[in-house]
Amino acid sequence: MRIRLVTAGAGAAWEAALVQACQAGTVPAEILHRCYDLGDLLAVAAAGQAEAAVVAASTRWLDHDALARLAAAGLTVVGVAPAGAINSNIVDMSRWLIALMNDGQLDGKQVLKAVIVPGRLVSLVVR
């Protein structure tokens, strides 16, 4: 299963790494479009081809209204922020996204409680 992604990384290094990992087949995902603003991202979401958007959390237009509009279009949004004390890589990040999109299942195993779903995460993060 390859997840269909769009990105809005504002040129961040992680965005380029994600594109490279997808092209190399390192992660089970494909980048459909690299978006540059909210209008671009909403247009892609409205087309219904992408399953998730990986967005720089520092993006100024990424607010509650934008997240609600993207969710209404059926798009799961994952905000990427500086790691702080947590270190990861693009492969682990993609596996986390897959688990979130599959109600906590990864590689046929339940690795997260099923109640932890993307919609609940958004409501916890954005206030």
What pTM was estimated for this model as a whole? 0.65
Measured CA distances, 8 to 3, 38, 41, 60 (Å):
16, 9, 8, 11
For the chain (127 residues), the mean pLDDT of every run of 10, in chain order, is: 84 83 86 89 89 84 84 84 66 78 83 65 46
What's residue 124's pLDDT?
43
- Cβ atoms 28, 98 nearer than 8 A: yes
Q: For position 126, what pLDDT does the model report?
A: 44
The strands making up 29-34's β-sheet, listed across from edge to edge, are 29-34, 3-8, 52-56, 76-80
Give the domains, in start order, of the chain with CATH numbers. 3-125 (3.40.50)
Which amino acid is it at 30? Answer: E
Q: What confidence score (pLDDT) does residue 105 get?
A: 84
